Amino acid sequence: MRELLVETGHPYTVHIGQHAIGLLSDRYRELLAQADRVVIIADSRVAELHLDKLLSELEEYHPLVFQVPAGEQAKSAASFMECHSFLLAENCSRNTVILAFGGGAVGDLAGFVASTFMRGVPFIQVPTTILAHDSAVGGKTAINHPLGKNMIGTFYQPQAVIYDSSFFDTLPDKEVRSGMAEVIKHAFISNEQWLEELLAIEDFGAMSESELSLHLEKGISVKAAIVEEDEFEGGVRKFLNFGHTLAHAIEAFLGYGKLTHGEAVVLGMAYALELSDSNRLNDFLKWAKDNGYPLGLLLELPFEALLPYMKKDKKSTAAALNFVLLGSIGRPYVEKVEEHQAQSAFNQLRITIKEMI
């Protein structure tokens, strides 16, 4: 089992490995035993697959379970209110502890519920996706507004992140791809040698459990270091948006859910590498192709349609586009890019992709 301390204003530990959930009846017994209620907010798909296993670790605390719709649907104002209604109906109090059980979506929702119920109750993240190595650490919570994703939320750190790799066995391939995209993003912005190791992977399915846990630990340590330095996103935390300006534009243009977040981020990172004039673009495209990311989609997306969304990006100002680019591996910076430059880099990337797929 690996563990890592996140030293934010309120420090907490991330535990990663097979049977990490065993810690709930061990290291976290005190926290859970003193709670008047232990409430699991669970993604319904994850509950169907893995709830029994989690419940068997929590028997002595007689937990209550509230299931929310699987995936992004969980992050609605309606399900936020339903969670609060459930907590109130069950006479929960400030001494209640909430567990988030599922991917980033349920983690964001349950974190927001925990941060607002009675002005804040403790919560533990029990993430079940690879992508959640990113979302479960850092303390951003959110639900979606019809006018924008993640528009309502708080900064609220969990008491612990219990990251049990045995849950990954049931992840669909596209969710593995989605999560691995954020892993390689963390490598791009931090460490060349680690990036080489990741680029050498031609088939995620062939990764061993311990290899994957090690990559997740590295990813979490990059995220944790950045969050520790900039908990409330005034500076370096922006670097975590490497690849995200175009990714968010693609997701918004296509409609959320058409492709996974990480698949969009891979397209966005390819574009950011093109804009950075990086010599790693071809290796990255090969890696993306081998691992089944939908590179061909870039040939179909009209730049003019994506541009307005990129202009709306939180990093951009009125007229200029701002991107996180790479000086070299591990050296991200934010750069203003003129529209015509953005257009020609997009065309160039399309030519390169067309030649290789």
Ligand X SMILES: NC(=O)c1ccc[n+]([C@@H]2O[C@H](COP(=O)([O-])OP(=O)(O)OC[C@H]3O[C@@H](n4cnc5c(N)ncnc54)[C@H](O)[C@@H]3O)[C@@H](O)[C@H]2O)c1
H or E element that contains 111: helix 104-116
* Active-site residue, 140 included: yes
CB of 175 to ligand X, least distance (A): 5
The active-site residue out of 59, 91, 119, 340 is: 119
Binding positions for ligand X, 147-166, rule CB under 6 A: 150
- Tell which one of 1, 49, 118, 214 touches ligand X (CB under 6 A): 49
User: Should residue 138 be labelled a site residue for ligand X when binding is judged by CB under 6 A?
Assistant: yes
The three-point CA angle 161-183-315 to 5° equals: 95
Site string for ligand X, 257-276 (x = CB under 6 A): ----x---------------
The phi, psi pair for 197, rounded to 5°, reads -60, -45
Q: Counting runs of H as helices and runs of E as strands, what totals does the chain give? A: 14, 11
For residue 233, give every residue at least 6 positions away whose Cβ sits within 8 Å of its Cβ, in sequence order, or none.
Answer: none
The DSSP code for 233 is: S
Which residue stretch of 45-53, 247-255, 318-326, 330-338 sits at the interface with ligand X (rule: CB under 6 A)? 45-53
Closest CA to 132 of 78, 156, 168: 168
Residue 182 assigned as binding residue: yes
Closer CB to ligand X, residue 105 or residue 345? 105
User: Should residue 131 be labelled a site residue for ligand X when binding is judged by CB under 6 A?
Assistant: yes
* Active-site residue, 244 included: yes
Instruction: Retrieve residue 270's tokens.
Output: 């390819």
* Active-site residue, 119 included: yes
Answer whether 140's CB lies under 8 Å from 174's CB.
no
Per this entry, what is the length of the chain? 357
- Tell me the C-alpha to C-alpha distance, in Å, between residue 54 and each of 22, 62, 83: 9, 12, 19
CA–CA gap between residue 72 and residue 83 (Å, rounded): 15
User: Should residue 105 be labelled a site residue for ligand X when binding is judged by CB under 6 A?
Assistant: yes
User: Should residue 15 be labelled a site residue for ligand X when binding is judged by CB under 6 A?
Assistant: no
* Active-site residue, 241 included: yes
Question: Helices marked H in 156-302 — which ranges?
Answer: 173-188, 192-199, 209-229, 244-254, 261-276, 281-290, 297-300
The active-site residue out of 218, 261, 280, 322 is: 261
* Active-site residue, 238 included: no
Q: Which residues are tagged catalytic?
A: 119, 140, 182, 223, 233, 237, 241, 244, 248, 261
Give the residue ranges of the annotated binding site.
104-108, 128-129, 140, 149, 167-170, 182, 244, 261
Which residues lie near ligand X (CB under 6 A)?
Answer: 43, 45-46, 49, 70-72, 75, 102-106, 108, 128-129, 131-132, 134-135, 138, 140, 150, 167, 170-171, 175, 178, 261
Give the residue ranges of the annotated binding site for Zn(2+).
182, 244, 261
